Structure 1
Amino acid sequence: MSPLRRGDVGVWSTSAGGHPDLRLSPAERARAGRYRQAEDRARSGTGAALLRFALRHATGGSRVDVDRRCPGCGADDHGPPAVVGTRDDAAWSVSLSHSGDLVTVAVAHGLGHVGVDVERTRPGAAVAALLCTADERRTDDAAPDPGDAWLTRWVRKEAVLKAARVGLTVPMRHLVLAAAHEPARLVSWDARTRPAGLALADVACRDLGPAATGGTGHRGAVATLGGPPRAVHVARIAPGSLARTAPALSPAGT
């Protein structure tokens, strides 16, 4: 994938289990080492390496890196990923998601914040009750495959919430999105939890197809807050391709 132009979004995805010998910073290794399960450690390490790989390809810069410093406490192991090392860091935004063996990173240039979500496990009825408004639930229950409709709605809503930098602190039922069989679109957001200054017209959401999800039963979506992207580029990263992506010599918080 070529460097992104302003107004573009790039999406990179890969398998968490296909990248031995990753070159991680001490903080990244420590973060991955906190997980008890090998699969979780692999997802954490692959996510860190894929973030750096995606940013360097998106920006064309060999020393671009990711700052995971928490804006609240200053710790370097749990903050939202931020871009450092470009000529205009504020113009770039990055988001990370993983589910099962799939790890996905989205990078946006000049579109405000970006959010990406991928999921594989279909929500059950109990989760759907937390996910959907009453009208959304009636629509999805009437779909040919309600479980798939719920899953599509889930990734769309979480992508929007991540782009808005509020995550799951906001109940998903406070957002209304178009039905799964329609193009992704934010219809409304409860005024009680909608971030100040956020205009619905500025929120763009797109579904990710098999080129991004690998056709493995996952559903995915990407959202931006600066209007619709000029283009969304997708790249699937082959196993072993992240091993040469080393941290910068003076990383900020990674």
Structure 2
Amino acid sequence: MSDTPVAPSVPPTAPAAAGSPEAAFYAPTERTVPTRIRERAAYDHETVHAILDAAYVCHLGFVRDGRPVVLPTLYARVGQRLYVHGSTGSRPLRMAGAEDPGLPVCLTVTHVDGLVLARSAFHHSINYRSVVVQGIAQPVTDPAEKAAALDALVDHAVPGRSADSRPANPKEAAATAVLRLDLTEVSAKTRSGGPNDEPEDVELPYWTGVVPVRHGYGSPVPADDLAPSVALPGYLAHL
């Protein structure tokens, strides 16, 4: 991107009173205020939650043996908390259980909404929506919370599906791990609109504009062994 870097500026971080308009915002910190293009950052719950709720896969970053590691995995938001799915054999899940108070992580979610084509290669960009969450991930060990988290993970992908499938049995639950990450240190960042060409490039004979990128669903394809008597559920027909 071609924008000029600017120094970070951290707004006051005093907690807002419950019920006040400010209570619907995540307090910015030195780690959540971007060093470039601060006007694209957002901290309100509505923006952050909408971006999180519209995706299924996050990238979870942590340090393992002194080296940075980033893993893609499924997640779901429940109120002011994220649940991250994994295997009990996964290294980050084992690390989270072994460390006190937990595993320091950085979780990111990104949507690409458009390819921004400028007249100059330098000003090409993308339209996007993203969220970065930093904090301490902890393993979910309470059986009731874990069961609720697993239902939330299923319903986040397909709303209503958890009630229309067999829940995990004890063996399956034991093989499945869930991390809990509270939404405390959070920021969103977005870009929209067209290209930002230099004035002297406006007359150049190159196509310029935005190519939209859209996510969609195809028609559900039944499994080969699905009984003909099992109808397509309404929650799938409405996707």
Normalised to the residue count of structure 2, the TM-score between the two structures is: 0.27
Higher Cα Rg: structure 1 or 2? 2
**Between structures 1 and 2, the one with greater helix share:** 1
Higher relative contact order (CA 8 A, sep 6+): 1
**Between structures 1 and 2, the one with greater strand share:** 2
Normalised to the residue count of structure 1, the TM-score between the two structures is: 0.26
